[in-house]
Amino acid sequence: MTANFLIGLREGLEAALIVVLLLAYVSRTGRVELVPRIWAGVGLAVAVSIGFGALLTFGPRGLTFQAQEAIGGSLSIVAVALVTWMVFWMARTSRTLGSDLRGKIDKVADGAAWGLVAVAALAVGREGLETALFLWAAAQATGQSTTPLLGAALGLAAAAGLGYLLHRGVLRVNLAKFFTCTGAALIVVAGGVLAYGIHDLQEAGLVPGLHSLAFDVSASVPPSSWYGTLLKGTLNFSPATTWLELAAWVLYVAPVMALYLRSSRRGMRRTAAVAAPAGGTSTSVTV
């Protein structure tokens, strides 16, 4: 549940930040008549994301066990690739996100009504589709259906509340630090999803090594125990892990985490250098 709360919070806040930036710009430029177009785009993005999540959940039913495992394993790997791209993309573009969105608004504001709807739908929809796929993969990894959705719903609700406070100017958040910390946590979660995806492919017979275990601590960490459930829900930890799953986790998390933290440190140094006043002290990145 904790991992899915984190997914919902981070992805939801990214989407909320986009909406806040869009609303703030049209308000400050005196084009409040464009606000309904933004909300129409957001509504379209939410509907498409929910539909995509329903397709992932109910689409594979009726297939053979091997086919379900093959689809689940493949989509889990795709979800890991997307979330990896997402955390690096946000670390790289968070400093220019506002100006990019303002440029898109200026291009379509005086054109057809669907232009701004498309901007809002694409900007928010990208986050929604990524969230739906990664939540589905995380739910498959934990073997539960209700708890992951509850965690994600709480995360999204918290993100919506933070977005509202940002829009009202009540809250100021150091977004650079927030996205750096949550991005690092998501890389660990993605490592667990990747390992589970490999396990699915092993169950489907597409990848060897299903019975070649690196360790089996099921006796010490029973999957049904509270701490076993906690480890499964937060880190997708499996008490019985094959060598291939372990190798996939290590070979993903170690280099990706190192590259991500190095990229984030460089980005924060560049931001501090740009924001530093004449006296030489830096300011936080805030909204």
Alpha-carbon distances, residue 240 vs 73, 228, 233 (angstroms): 17, 12, 15
**pLDDT 10s digit of each residue in the chain, 287 long?**
667 787 788 788 888 888 888 888 777 777 778 788 888 888 998 899 889 888 887 877 777 888 888 888 898 898 898 888 888 877 776 666 667 677 777 776 655 556 767 877 887 887 788 888 888 887 777 666 556 677 788 888 888 888 888 777 766 767 677 778 888 888 988 898 899 899 999 999 998 988 889 988 988 888 778 777 777 766 778 888 999 999 999 999 999 999 998 887 776 666 556 555 544 433 333 44
Measured CA to CA, the distance from residue 121 to residue 116 in angstroms comes to 8
Measured CA to CA, the distance from residue 251 to residue 62 in angstroms comes to 34
Measured CA to CA, the distance from residue 128 to residue 48 in angstroms comes to 8
Tell me which H or E stretch contains 216.
strand 213-216
